[in-house]
Amino acid sequence: MKTYEKSDAARIMAAIGSSGHYDGILAPYDITVSRAHVAMLLDQGVVPPDAAARVLRELDDLERRLLAGDEPLDPEAEDVHTAIEQYLETRIGVDAGWLGTARARNDLAVTALRLWIRDQVIALRSRILALTKAMLTQAERHAATVMPGFSHLQVAQPMTFGHVCLAYAEAFLRDAERISFVLALQDECPMGSAALAGTGFPVDRSAVARNLGFRQPTANSLESVGDRAFALDFLSAGASVALNLSRFGAEIVFWSSQPVGLITLPDELVSASSAMPHKRNPDAAELIRGKTGRVLGNLHALQTVVKGLPLSYFRDLQEDKEPLFDTARTLELSLDAAVMIATLMEPNPDAMRRAADIAFVTSGDLADWLTRERGIPFREAHHLVTALVRLSQEQNCSLGALPLEARRGVDERLAFEEWPDITVETSVESRASQGGTAPRRVLESAARLRSRLVEFIEFEADFSDQETIKRVGMMTS
């Protein structure tokens, strides 16, 4: 049996306690927060001007080195925040110690993470909007392209490909709105909360919050340092995006399968089988669908981490970052792939039209017609058409070709001369309620959605510009 030494315990503790090998992504955000903090301490007379100048100069230099691709930080440091303080100590000695005044890693780390999430939201939202636009463009192009509408993967009613594309465009625009809520919900700055009880130094938390582009400081220092609701909000919104991407991916896999053949994907988005050269596997769509599991798992992982934590900071919260980082990377890649699919997929109108024209596909339209034109209550009309379908199958003819006497045998009210023969095109045209699949309604809905999309993009761009101007202005004033 192995004998363990204290040195083994120290080694294992260093391994389990280290996050420096993955949280380096937060270095630019730590620098931004540290710069705002030191500038505030200088204004408040807490830090000597010459020491503040040296700290700010080295922070600027470190930022330039990181942007240039250098790796000046110690990868063996406990975390990125420790690595930055150690780096400053090697550069300017004891003056680096002023950086830790009136703050702790607790409020520093959570503030840097909020800034990182802000940038991820903006980047992901841009991709979601690009996907929305691509589906909207397909909808406008194919507003009158008839295809089967599926329920339980059975052909249910004729509809248009444009209508289906609009359905996804609506879902994706809602995801863009949902992920934007994350910014509003986390628009408060934890800096100045220090370890958990605030600080005895005369800090100006509002100045730091404004400098960093937050609306205001957080209200309670204790709640601030242990709060990860903003991170869960991001993961929750990301999970919603992933779910809709997964449904889209599943649809693409189905549509592009050989027996269905409703769309064709470009060679760049499919792969050949290693054993069957004739196959064109929709790998991009399948991977989008598969990666959803990671995003959903990341949300559950962080929920599990925080579910039993009292107020204040606990080391458990070190586990907040990897789920966040992975979700952001996974969604970025999945959205890029989805945009390519939405842009480059080619509908096969002839195959769509053939697939929509199955026997009795317009039987529901006939029930509607009997209610609308002959005054038969819909439920009764539905039962009558069910009987007519069975009769048509027996006589091997279409509903429109049933003779008058045969219809009379089902119900006397069906014995009239002007019996409708409802085509697939007639069915689609008749679905003209607002939001329906009729081509003119699809074009109207597409125009409204494009207007909403433009307004949303303009609003978010203006908001982002104002936030950028505010942050830059505060940092240079």
Q: What are phi and psi of 272, to 5 degrees?
A: -90, 150
Buried b (16+ CB within 10 A) or exposed e, 383-416: ebbeebbebbeeeeeebeebeeebbeebbeebee
Please answer whether residues 325 and 22 qualify as being in contact, where contact means their C-beta atoms are separated by less than 8 angstroms: yes
Q: What are phi and psi of 282, to 5 degrees?
A: -80, 65
Exposed/middle/buried for residue 69 (C-beta within 10 Å: 0-12, 13-18, 19+) = exposed
| CB atoms near residue 190 (< 10 Å) | 30
Whole-angstrom distance, CA of residue 452 vs CA of residue 455: 5
Angle at which helices 105-141 and 229-256 cross, to 10°: 30
152 catalytic, yes or no? yes
Catalytic residue among 271, 273, 398, 451: 273
Please answer whether residues 327 and 295 qualify as being in contact, where contact means their C-beta atoms are separated by less than 8 angstroms: yes
273 catalytic, yes or no? yes
Two structure tokens written together for 108: 């520093």
Whole-angstrom distance, CA of residue 218 vs CA of residue 383: 63
DSSP designation for 159? E
In this structure, the strands spanning 216-217 and 188-189 are parallel
Question: Please, which residues have CB within 8 angstroms of residue 176's CB and are 6 or more apart in sequence?
Answer: 125, 128, 129, 132, 456
CA atoms within 13 A on the CB side of 100: 15
Please answer whether residues 172 and 136 qualify as being in contact, where contact means their C-beta atoms are separated by less than 8 angstroms: no
Question: Please, which residues have CB within 8 angstroms of residue 114's CB and are 6 or more apart in sequence?
Answer: 186, 189, 190, 214, 230
Catalytic residue among 7, 152, 274, 477: 152
Q: What CA dihedral angle connects 387, 383, 148 and 372, to 10 degrees?
A: 120
Please list the active-site residues. Answer: 152, 273
